[in-house]
Structure 1
Amino acid sequence: MRKHTGENTRGRIRSEWGTLKEVAIHRPGFEMFLGLLNPEASLYERAFNRHSAIAEHRRFEEMLKDDFGIKVVKLRDAVLKAADRNAELRAMLIDNAMGALGYLGDPKKAKAARAELKKNVNVYDSDHFFDILVSRPTIDLHGTRKNEPAQLRITSTDPLTNLYFMRDQQLVTDKGVFISRMAKPQRRHETELTKLLWKALGIKIVHEAEENAIIEGGDFMPMKDFALLGEGDRTNAAGVSQMLKYGADFDEVAVVHQPSHPLMPGSEPDPMLDMHLDMYFNVAGSSTVVGSGLLMRHASVDVYQKEGRGRYSKARGRQSLYEYIKGKGFNIIELSTLEQLSYASNFLCVKDGVIIAISTELIAKSSLEYIALKARADPHRYGALHAEMSKEYNRFRSTGQIFPHSRELLENGIDFYAVNLQNLTGGYGGAHCMTAPIERS
Structure 2
Amino acid sequence: MLNVYSEIGKLEAVLLHRPGKELENLVPDYLERLLFDDIPFLDLARREHDNFAEILRGNGVEVLYLEELATESIDNPDVRNDFIEKFLDEGNVVGLGTREVLKDYFERFSNKELIDKLMAGVRKDEIPKLINKSLMDLTDSNYPFVLDPMPNLYFTRDPFATIGHGITLNHMKTNVRNRETIFAKYIFENHPRFKNPNLHIWFNRKEAFSLEGGDILVLSPKVIAIGISARTDAAAIERFSERILYSDESFETILAFDIPKKRAFMHLDTVFTMVDHGKFTIHPEAEDNLTIYSITKSNRFHGELYIEKEELPLEQTLQKYLEVDEVALIRCAGGNAIDAAREQWNDGSNTLAIAPGEVIVYARNYVTNRLLEDNGIKTHVMSCSELSRGRGGPRCMSMPLIRGSL
Is the pair's TM-score, using the shorter chain for normalization, greater than 0.5? yes
Give the 3-state SS of the residue equivalent to 1:314 in structure 2: strand
- Give the conservation status (yes or no) of the 8 Å contact 1:356–1:419: yes
In structure 2, the CA distance between the partners of 1:97 and 1:138, relative to structure 1 (3 Å rule), is farther
Q: Sequence identity of aligned pairs in percent? A: 23
Asked whether 1:325 is paired with 2:318, we answer yes
Q: How does 1:36-435 map to 2 (within 5 A)?
A: 36-37=27-28, 38-65=30-57, 67-84=58-75, 86=76, 89-99=79-89, 109=97, 113=101, 116=104, 121=107, 124-137=109-122, 141=130, 155-199=145-189, 200=191, 201-202=194-195, 204-206=199-201, 207-224=203-220, 225-247=222-244, 249=249, 250-259=251-260, 271-307=262-298, 311-319=304-312, 321-327=314-320, 328=322, 329-335=326-332, 336=335, 337-338=340-341, 339-361=343-365, 402-406=367-371, 409-435=372-398
Unaligned runs of 5+ in 2: 134-140
Write out per-residue CA displacement over residues 289-343 of structure 1, whole angstroms, 9 at most, x where no aligned residue: 1111331232100111234886531125545545523545321111132332221
- Superposed displacement of residue 210, structure 1: 3.2
- Give the conservation status (yes or no) of the 8 Å contact 1:300–1:319: no
What TM-score do you get using the length of structure 2 for normalisation? 0.81
Write out per-residue CA displacement over residues 331-385 of structure 1, whole angstroms, 9 at most, x where no aligned residue: 1111132332221111110011110111134xxxxxxxxxxxxxxxxxxxxxxxx
In structure 2, the CA distance between the partners of 1:110 and 1:287, relative to structure 1 (3 Å rule), is closer
- Give the conservation status (yes or no) of the 8 Å contact 1:22–1:439: yes
Residue correspondences, number: 367
- Superposed displacement of residue 258, structure 1: 1.4
Write out per-residue CA displacement over residues 128-154 of structure 1, whole angstroms, 9 at most, x where no aligned residue: 43245324548662689xxxxxx9x96
CA distance in 1 between counterparts of 2:165 and 2:273 reads 21
CA distance in 1 between counterparts of 2:238 and 2:280 reads 26
- Give the conservation status (yes or no) of the 8 Å contact 1:104–1:138: no
Give the 3-state SS of the residue equivalent to 1:283 in structure 2: strand
Give the 3-state SS of the residue equivalent to 2:353 in structure 1: strand
- Give the conservation status (yes or no) of the 8 Å contact 1:302–1:319: no
- Give the conservation status (yes or no) of the 8 Å contact 2:223–2:255: yes
Deviates more, 1:35-44 or 1:334-343: 35-44
CA distance in 1 between counterparts of 2:113 and 2:373 reads 49
- Superposed displacement of residue 17, structure 1: 0.6
- Give the conservation status (yes or no) of the 8 Å contact 2:23–2:120: no
- Give the conservation status (yes or no) of the 8 Å contact 1:23–1:435: yes
AA paired with 1:324?
T
Deviates more, 1:216-225 or 1:239-248: 239-248
In structure 2, the CA distance between the partners of 1:292 and 1:101, relative to structure 1 (3 Å rule), is closer
- Give the conservation status (yes or no) of the 8 Å contact 1:25–1:164: yes
AA paired with 2:308?
A
- Give the conservation status (yes or no) of the 8 Å contact 2:159–2:172: yes
Unaligned runs of 5+ in 1: 1-9, 145-150, 261-270, 362-400
AA paired with 1:174?
G
**CA RMSD for the aligned pairs?**
3.0
Aligned to 1:15: 6
AA paired with 1:325?
L
CA distance in 1 between counterparts of 2:102 and 2:290 reads 50
AA paired with 1:426?
R
CA distance in 2 between counterparts of 1:415 and 1:101 reads 43
- Give the conservation status (yes or no) of the 8 Å contact 2:310–2:317: no
- Give the conservation status (yes or no) of the 8 Å contact 2:275–2:353: yes
In structure 2, the CA distance between the partners of 1:306 and 1:100, relative to structure 1 (3 Å rule), is closer
CA distance in 2 between counterparts of 1:275 and 1:101 reads 24
Write out per-residue CA displacement over residues 266-305 of structure 1, whole angstroms, 9 at most, x where no aligned residue: xxxxx11101001110000122111113312321001112
Deviates more, 1:129-138 or 1:43-52: 129-138
Q: How does 1:26-37 map to 2 (within 5 A)?
A: 26-37=17-28
- Give the conservation status (yes or no) of the 8 Å contact 2:20–2:116: no
- Give the conservation status (yes or no) of the 8 Å contact 1:299–1:320: no
- Superposed displacement of residue 185, structure 1: 2.0
AA paired with 1:159?
P
Deviates more, 1:337-346 or 1:304-313: 304-313
